[in-house]
Amino acid sequence: MGILQLQNSPLTSSARTAYRSVRAAYRKVRAIRNRFLNFVESPIVILIYHRVANLSADPEMLSVSRENFYRHMLFLKQHFRILRFEEEWFGLKEPAVVVTFDDGYADNVLDALPVLEEVGVPATFFVSSGHVGTEKEFWWHQLEGILLREGEFPARFQLDDARYGRVWDTASLERRKALYASLNMAMREIPPARRDSWLDQLGKWADRRHGGKDFHRSMTKEEVKRLAASPWATVGAHTVTHSALSSLTEEQQRKEIFTSKKDLENITGTEITTFSYPFGRKRDYDRTSVRLCREAGFIKAAANFPGQVHRWTDPFQLPRHLVRNWDLETFAAELKSFWTR
Ligand SMILES: [Zn+2]
C-alpha cells in the first residue's frame, strides 16, 4: 500500500522523482523475475478488449478501430498459439495468447465476431446481463452523454449525497471534464441504486439524459445467442449491473454473480463457466467475490491488471493486459513487453 499512498498524496517534485525511480526499479526487478519464470514454464498472456468501433469520442480509451482489430488478430494468428479462456492450458512448449472481451457491447457481435471467424481466432466475451436487450447505456456513457458535450449548462452542479455531496463549477467544458473525472471515479465505489440517483440528479440539472453523438448499445438477447452459437466465441458472465463488487454487501455480490450466470444460461441455453470482475483492479473485488465465484460454479475468473499466467497463478484472479487502439507496430511492441510485465 505504501507506494499507492504516496501516489495519492500531494507530492513535492523530489518525492515524485523518487517515486518514479522506485517504480522503474520495481519494473526492472519484475521483468527479471518474469524472464526467469518464463524460462521455468511457457507463459500465457491474456488480452482484454472492450469494443471494436470507430467512435467520435472515447474518453475511457476502450475502443479499438475495426482496421486495427483486424490487424491485431491477424498478427496473433501468424505468431502465436491462441488458446480459449475456458480451456485447460498448461504444459505448453511455447508462449500462448488468450483473447477476451468485457461488457457485452453490440459491436462485439456485429464487428468483432466476423473478424474472429474470418481469421480463426477464438475469444471469450464477458457480458453484463442487466444491459442485454435494453436501451440503457452503461452508466459511464450516460455520464459522458450528459457532461462531455458542447452546449448551455448551469454554472454549478450540486450533488446531493451524504458522503460525496458538494458543489462543482460547471461553467466551461474544461470544468465539466473535471466533474466527469471525479464522478467517474466515485461512481465505481457506490452501489447501483445510488449511482442511478446521481444520474437522475445530473439529468434533471442538465435537462437531458443523453446527448452523446454515439449510441453505446449492449447486445440484444438474439445477439448473445448468435455469439454463443459461434464456434469461435464463448460467453462468460460479468455481473448484472457492472458494479465494483467490493463496494457491495455479500448479499448484493451474490445476486450480481449468481444472477448474471443464470440470466446468460437462460439466454444461451449453455452452461456459463467463466466470469470477469467489473473494473477488475484488486480494489474492485474482494475475498468474498472470489469465494462466491467458486460457489457459483465458475471454473475461472479474470481480473484486469497486467501479469502473465503460469500454472501457479490463481485461476480466480487471472491477470489480463488491456489493449488500446494501437496500430500494428505499437501492438507488436506492446505484446512483446507483455511477456515480462
Ligand atoms: Zn467491464
pLDDT tens digits in sequence order for the chain, 341 residues long: 223 333 344 557 788 888 888 888 888 888 888 888 887 788 999 999 999 998 888 888 889 999 999 999 999 999 999 999 999 888 788 889 999 999 999 999 999 999 999 999 999 999 999 999 998 889 998 999 899 887 888 999 999 998 999 999 998 999 999 999 999 999 998 988 999 999 999 999 988 655 556 778 999 999 999 999 999 999 999 999 999 999 999 999 999 999 999 999 999 999 999 999 999 999 999 999 999 999 999 999 999 999 989 999 999 999 999 999 999 999 999 999 998 88
In contact, 86 and 300? CB cutoff 8 Å:
yes
CA-to-CA distance for 313 and 315, rounded, in angstroms?
6
Ligand 1 center from residue 7 Cα (angstroms): 25
Ligand 1 center from residue 188 Cα (angstroms): 11
Ligand 1 center from residue 213 Cα (angstroms): 21
Report yes or no on whether pTM surpasses 0.75.
yes
Q: Which 8-state DSSP code applies to residue 256?
A: H
**How many of the other CB atoms lie within 10 Å of CB of 139?**
20
Shortest CA distance to 199 belongs to which of 253, 242, 161? 161
Ligand 1 center from residue 130 Cα (angstroms): 12
Ligand 1 center from residue 10 Cα (angstroms): 30
Ligand 1 center from residue 102 Cα (angstroms): 5
CA-to-CA distance for 74 and 70, rounded, in angstroms?
6
Q: Is 304 helix (H, G, I), strand (E, B) or coil?
A: coil
End-to-end CA distance of the chain: 20
CA dist 264 to 114, 131, 293, Å? Answer: 22, 11, 15
The residue assigned the cell 439524459 is 209
Ligand 1 center from residue 49 Cα (angstroms): 10
Ligand 1 center from residue 245 Cα (angstroms): 12
Shortest CA distance to 70 belongs to which of 320, 328, 340? 328
The separation between CA 32 and the C-alpha centre of its own chain, rounded to angstroms, equals 28
